[in-house]
A and B are shown apart, each in its own frame.
Chain A
Amino acid sequence: MVAERNEVEAVAGTTARRPGRPATRRNRRGSRAERLAPFVLLAPAVLIIVVLRLWPLLLGVNFSFTGDGDRNGVPVGFDNYLTLFGDPLFRTALRNVGLLVLLLPVAVAIPGLLATFIYLRVPGHRVYRGVYFFPAVLSPVIVGAIFTLLLAYDGPLNTLLGGVGLGPVDWLGDPDVAIFAVVGVHVWATFGMALVVFLAGFAALDPSLLDAAKVDGASLPQTIRHVIVPALTRTIQFVFVTTMIGMLTSMFGLLFVMTGGGPEGSTYLPEYYIWVQQGQFNQPALASAAATALFLIMLVVGLAQIAVLRRAGRED
């Protein structure tokens, strides 16, 4: 591959120095059609993205200010947003978003620490990456289905806990527990993704930094705090943002399979609320208001994270 590339480069080097060919008629006609070539090559992608991603975004914001049912298409101002924030289910969904934001540092720290250990070559370091990464390729539906079995009230996890004398926990049936169970499963399924990103960051790390820390007699926590975290700021930033996006937009499959938003609506997230309003209750305008709210939440959380992390990065 490399050899091949060098060869072509060498050829390019010689031909580029050759004076330009006289423009023949055929060449000139070709160049006219070819001036459009960059646009022709881009056309399918741009067309699809504009019509099926950017345009719907505007359409959705517009929908959110119109009514549902009898008032279909009628402008209703902020009515949908009032309904939305008056709905206990949506308020639960927002509270759960807050919970996710609080849990975010944990969800980032776990793969970060594991990647650090793998990088520092704990025994068996060659095996972990492949093992940890594998649940990340499974569909949330598969993961959710497997964990409904494992977390059932009469299921294996409770049997195991019973074996060491701990009472059974109604993992998916207790409104105070279910959201944590679902988030836990989500983290189980996705930490490998962040781990791989961290390892890629480590691969670009200058090893002499770590050697210097070792020579200075730094402990592991000191090394992490003063060497690894500052060197990986960009990677950490990336993982924070992608993990947050993942938590807000890729738990639908888990919720759909594991809890259906229950018990008592305690595991609702905005994305699930949108689906229920659109798919079950046929209230597209209300669903659009929820979608717009979700988009704003993501924008705010994303920008806030970048701001916070950038400041943290500067302090070091």
Chain B
Amino acid sequence: MAGRRWTRWLVAIPMVALALATVYPLVFTTNVAVKTRREYVLDRFSLADSLRWANVVEAWTSVGMSRYFVNSLIVVTCSVALLLLFGSMAGFSLARLRFRGSSVLFLGILAALFIPFQVIMVPLARIMADAGLVDTYPGLILAYVAQFLPFTVFLMTSYYSTVPPEIVDAARIDGNTVYGVYWRIMLPIGRPALLSVGVLNALFCWNDVLISLLMMPSAENRTLMVGVTSLRGQYSDDIPVFASGVLIAAIPVLVVYLFLQRQIADGVTAGATKG
């Protein structure tokens, strides 16, 4: 028994070390962000003398991070709203309405889940260019919706499959149309799944760089992550300002993580337990 206990503590040592290695890079970056350039050059590790927000302010204003931030916010909000709307509509239809061809359609959507963006990137760019959607908000939003819709439909379908069919029947007998059932019953019932899928989609869209690079070539339309990549070239000799920009881009995600960690994990594991 004592031996067991001893091994447990032995295992805990690398685990604690790993936990520190997980957190440290962000702590380091935060510390760098509030240092002066001189402080950073002299000593990378020393704690900053005081919390100076001058770097963060500079990154926010003069580099244009504020503009990129707003771009990202608009695109992510619209994309997630559309994903949840279309995903829940399709999920309800596939899970709880009986019609011919539903299983074929579900399989088709499932197949689309396994097409990585890189594989369809070139023709998609051409389709978007032909439609005049490159370098526009609707173009990027549509690209995000297309990218994450199969996943959203899949999760909403498996969630709605757990809703007892009697609920739908009862609502129909009470005089609701199918659309009424969707709007008044299924949307409210779907709230936990919508929250989980919504947060996950928001993270995917917020964190993306490839789709955004492809769809938004001009500088003023950059999203935040593309903005961070451009920051690197501009501020290669002023690391504290660079670190500040990185921090600005990371903070919203960290806040979301603190409050919605469980929902994010639920979304990630749903594919494993239900697939």
Task: Give residues in A with beta carbon < 8 Å to B.
Answer: 5, 8-9, 11-13, 15-16, 18, 21, 30, 34, 37-39, 41-42, 44-46, 48-57, 59-60, 63, 114, 117, 120-124, 127-128, 130-143, 145-150, 155-156, 159, 188, 192-193, 196-197, 199-201, 204, 220, 234-235, 238-239, 242, 245, 248-249, 252-253, 256-257, 270-271, 274-275, 278-279, 284, 287-288, 291-292, 294-295, 298, 302
Decide yes or no whether B122 CB sits under 8 A from chain A.
yes
Select one of B116, B127, B257, B273 contacting A245, CB under 8 A. B116
A145 touches B92 (CB 8 A): no
Q: How far is the CA of A253 from the CA of B206 in the complex (A)?
A: 13
* CB pair B268 A53 closer than 8 Å: no
**A-contact 0/1 string along B193-206, CB 8 Å cutoff:** 00000000001001
Is A49 within 8 A of B109, CB to CB? yes
Q: Report A-chain residues with C-beta under 8 Å of the C-beta of B116.
A: 245, 248-249, 271, 294-295, 298
Are B97 and A59 touching (Cβ within 8 A)?
A: no
Does B108 lie at the interface of the complex (its beta carbon under 8 Å from any beta carbon of A)?
yes
Given contacts A122-B11, A122-B12, contact A63 B145 (CB under 8 A): no
Apart from A18-B173, A139-B249, A234-B272, 10 more pairs, CB < 8 Å: A16-B169, A16-B170, A16-B173, A34-B178, A37-B93, A38-B99, A57-B115, A155-B44, A238-B272, A298-B116
Q: Are A295 and B28 in contact (CB under 8 A)?
A: no
Given A37-B179, A137-B253, A274:B272 Cβ within 8 A: no
- Closest approach, in angstroms, between the C-beta of B50 and any C-beta of chain A? 21
Whether B121 pairs with A291 at a CB distance below 8 angstroms is yes
B214 contacts the other chain (CB 8 A): yes
Chain B's interface: helix, strand, loop or mixed, by majority? helix
A–B Cβ pairs within 8 angstroms, 9 of them: A37-B97, A39-B99, A51-B127, A122-B11, A124-B12, A140-B207, A156-B44, A192-B22, A279-B214
Are A141 and B119 neighbours in the complex by a CB distance under 8 Å? no
C-alpha gap A310/B199 in the complex (Å): 33
Cβ B109 vs Cβ A45 within 8 A: yes
Q: Which residues of B contact A (CB under 8 A)?
A: 7-9, 11-12, 15-16, 18-19, 21-23, 25-26, 28-29, 32, 44-45, 85-87, 89-90, 92-94, 97-99, 102, 105, 108-109, 111-112, 114-127, 142-143, 145-147, 149-150, 153, 164, 166-167, 169-170, 173-174, 177-179, 182, 203, 206-210, 213-214, 225, 228-229, 231-232, 239, 242-243, 246, 249-250, 253-254, 256-257, 261, 264-265, 268-269, 271-273, 275
Q: How near does chain A come to B130, taking the closest CB pair, in angstroms?
A: 11
- B9 and A123: CB pair below 8 A? yes
A107 to B264, CA, bound (A): 21
* Set of chain A residues within 8 Å of B179, measured between Cβ atoms: 37, 41
Which residues of chain A come closer than 8 Å to B124, judged between CB atoms?
52, 56
CA of A51 to CA of B131 in the docked complex: distance in angstroms?
12
Q: Min CB distance, B133 to chain A, in Å?
A: 11
A9 near B164: Cβ-Cβ < 8 Å:
yes
Instruction: Tell which of A41, A124, A135, A141 touches B92, judged by Cβ atoms closer than 8 Å.
Output: A41
Question: Could you tell me the distance between the alpha carbons of A199 and B89 in the complex, rounded to whole angstroms?
Answer: 31
Residue of B nearest to A30 (CB): B177
Q: How far is the CB of A122 from chain B (nearest CB, A)?
A: 5
- C-alpha spacing A270/B122, complex, angstroms: 14
Report A-chain residues with C-beta under 8 Å of the C-beta of B15: 114, 117, 122, 124, 128
Distance (Å) between the CB of B121 and the closest chain A CB?
6
Given that A117-B15, A156-B44, A256-B209 are known contacts, is A135 also in contact with B22, CB under 8 Å in the complex? yes
Cβ–Cβ contact B149 & A49, under 8 A? yes
A287, B123: Cα distance in complex, Å: 10
Smallest CB separation, A158 vs chain B (Å): 10
B residues near A295, Cβ cutoff 8 Å: 115-116, 119
**Cβ of A146: which chain B residues have Cβ within 8 Å of it?**
25-26, 28-29, 246
Known A-B contacts A200-B269, A257-B232; the reply to A291 vs B120 at CB < 8 A is yes
- Given the contacts A39-B99, A60-B122, A146-B29, A139 and B225 also touching, CB distance less than 8 Å: yes
Q: Contact at B122–A63, with CB atoms within 8 Å?
A: yes
How far apart are A261's CB and chain B's nearest CB, in angstroms?
14
Whether the pair B228, A141 counts as a contact (CB closer than 8 A) is yes
